[in-house]
Structure 1
Amino acid sequence: ADQKDSGSSIPGIGGSFDLTDSLILTAPTGYLLFGFLT
């Protein structure tokens, strides 16, 4: 329940929530760019 300390679970990244949010936002964009380039 210590969600404010989630940033210390993975040092250097910013926490697991930031990691999953960035993947959710960038994965479709990367997939579309990869589809256009190939």
Structure 2
Amino acid sequence: MNCEEATKLLDGYLDGELDPITSQQIEQHLRDCRT
């Protein structure tokens, strides 16, 4: 997942609306992203 994808999905993530796999991908991106 890149920053653009994560940004688009962030509201849904924060609201708990995403499936577990997508949520995990966002969490991994937030941990690993350097920007």
TM tier, smaller? 0.3 to 0.5
The structure whose Rg is larger is: 1
Which of 1 and 2 has higher RCO (CA within 8 Å, sep 6+)? 2
TM-score by length of 2: 0.37
